[in-house]
């Protein structure tokens, strides 16, 4: 028995393929329109978005900063960076926000952000400058000529920056009560700034006018962050000075053994003494020797050295625990 013959039309498979592709297109379109309301659906975000990223230091090589607090306002979205500097802020609705962020030792920052999708970005914080120590020290210098004694101040600050000392731009001193402010000079040592101010520089007739008045230091870094120190006050102005006894009045001494003698009534606070020796070269004093930490009760000091022939002068200086000082008038001597 012969089987039934099936007639195949030449274009059947072609039209079948077209129909299948059209059905697949329509079906996929319907799938895109399906709402992701199932809480187990990974595409269900309930109309909210996520902000994430990392916070790094300001300069290269950028390193991550931990414990940075981030606040997205309005609202109460708060996050904190982990050890690798990363953060995540979830469940943020579409809209305009301001992201505020900062950490201890860094300048706080903020910026506006328009949220309409998930966002990933990197942030950077500028490390703040800081003070290591500050001082305002008074000095009193007695002299034979002119008869008036000299009083002056030494301002000294040591600063650094979380991004390194090279990020420090300027250091200022300010005396608000006197409406005085100016820059300090950088020293040879990194991070050290100083200035010497005489009474005429301070527009006062006597440094005693400065007692009880606050000094401030202000340090700025290259990006523009500024930090102001706590107020600093003069601790003491030493009015008294020692009187040199010998050698003096161009007395001739032997260079290998010089007995320095002076007079000084005991002062009611802790202090030490210092002897300074200067050579006089063509009328210009040149420092030769400095002997520090001489006990306060001493009134003489034996000095053994080999000074070359010439004229010299010496002084004895009172130095208190804060560095304030008062220098005696000169005693002049000669080494043959």
Among 331, 330, 142, CA closest to 246: 331
pLDDT of residue 76: 87
For the segment 159-170, what is each residue's pLDDT rounded down to a tens digit? 999 999 999 999
Is the sign of the CA dihedral 317, 318, 320, 322 positive or negative? negative
Rounded CA separation 183/171 (Å): 6
Is the sign of the CA dihedral 37, 41, 47, 48 positive or negative? positive
- For all residues of the chain together, what is the average pLDDT? 89
Rounded CA separation 246/259 (Å): 8
For range 92-107, the mean pLDDT? 97
Confidence class for position 153, pLDDT limits 50, 70, 90? very high
For residues 178 and 207, the answer to whether their CB atoms sit within 8 Å is no
Strand runs labelled E in 176-309: 180-183, 185-186, 192-198, 216-221, 226-228, 243-246, 251-252, 258-263, 271-281, 284-295, 300-303
Question: Which residues are within 8 A (CB) of 117 and not within 5 positions of it... i.e. 6 or more apart?
Answer: 49
Residue 207 DSSP label: G
- What is the CB-side half-sphere exposure of residue 26 using CA atoms within 13 A? 6
- What is the CB-side half-sphere exposure of residue 81 using CA atoms within 13 A? 25
Rounded CA separation 318/56 (Å): 51
3-state secondary structure of 66: coil
For the segment 174-210, what is each residue's pLDDT rounded down to a tens digit? 999 999 999 999 999 999 999 999 999 998 999 999 9
Location of structure tokens 């996050």: 79
Q: Measured in whole angstroms, how far is the alpha carbon of residue 111 from the centre of its chain?
A: 25
For the segment 65-84, what is each residue's pLDDT rounded down to a tens digit? 999 999 999 998 999 999 99
H or E element in which residue 169 lies = strand 168-175
pLDDT of residue 203: 87
Whether the pLDDT of residue 11 is over 90: the answer is no
Whether the pLDDT of residue 154 is over 80: the answer is yes
For range 98-105, the mean pLDDT? 98
pLDDT of residue 43: 53
pLDDT of residue 222: 98
pLDDT of residue 4: 40
For residues 329 and 144, the answer to whether their CB atoms sit within 8 Å is yes
3-state secondary structure of 12: helix
Domains and CATH numbers, the chain: 48-125 (2.60.40.10), 129-228 (2.60.40), 243-335 (2.60.40.10)
Confidence class for position 115, pLDDT limits 50, 70, 90? very high
Whether the pLDDT of residue 36 is over 90: the answer is no
For the segment 275-322, what is each residue's pLDDT rounded down to a tens digit? 999 999 998 999 999 999 999 999 999 999 889 999 999 999 999 999
Q: How far is CA 109 from CA 124, 126, 221, 254, in A?
A: 9, 9, 16, 70
For residues 203 and 181, the answer to whether their CB atoms sit within 8 Å is no
């Amino acid at each position: 028995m012969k089987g039934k013959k099936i007639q195949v039309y030449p274009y059947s498979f072609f039209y079948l393929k077209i129909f299948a592709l059209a059905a697949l297109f329509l079906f996929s379109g319907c799938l895109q329109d399906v709402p992701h309301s199932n809480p187990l659906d990974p595409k269900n975000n309930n109309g909210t978005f996520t902000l994430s990223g990392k916070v790094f230091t300001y300069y290269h090589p950028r390193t991550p900063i931990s414990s940075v607090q981030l606040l997205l306002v309005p609202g109460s979205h708060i996050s904190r960076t982990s050890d690798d500097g990363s953060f995540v802020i979830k469940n943020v609705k579409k809209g305009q926000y301001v992201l505020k962020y900062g950490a201890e030792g860094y300048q706080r920052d903020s910026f506006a952000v328009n949220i309409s999708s998930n966002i990933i970005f990197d942030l950077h914080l500028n490390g703040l400058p800081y003070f290591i120590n500050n001082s305002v020290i008074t000095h009193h210098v007695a002299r034979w000529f002119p008869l008036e004694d000299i009083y002056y101040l030494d301002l000294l600050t040591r600063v650094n920056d979380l991004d390194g000392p090279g990020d420090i731009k300027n250091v200022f001193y300010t005396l608000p009560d006197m409406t005085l402010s100016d820059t300090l000079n950088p020293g040879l040592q990194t991070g050290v700034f100083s200035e010497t101010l005489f009474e005429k520089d301070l527009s006062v007739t006597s440094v005693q006018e400065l007692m009880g008045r606050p000094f401030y230091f202000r340090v700025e870094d290259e990006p523009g962050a500024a930090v102001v120190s706590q107020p600093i006050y003069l601790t003491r102005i030493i009015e008294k000075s020692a009187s040199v006894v010998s050698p003096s009045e161009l007395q001739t001494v032997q260079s290998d053994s010089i007995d320095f003698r002076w007079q000084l009534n005991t002062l009611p606070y802790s202090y030490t003494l210092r002897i300074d020796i200067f050579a006089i070269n063509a009328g210009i004093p040149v420092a030769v020797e400095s002997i520090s930490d001489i006990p306060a009760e001493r009134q003489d000091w034996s000095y053994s050295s080999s000074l070359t022939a010439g004229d010299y002068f010496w002084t004895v200086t009172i130095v208190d625990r804060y560095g304030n000082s008062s220098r005696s008038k000169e005693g002049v001597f000669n080494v043959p």
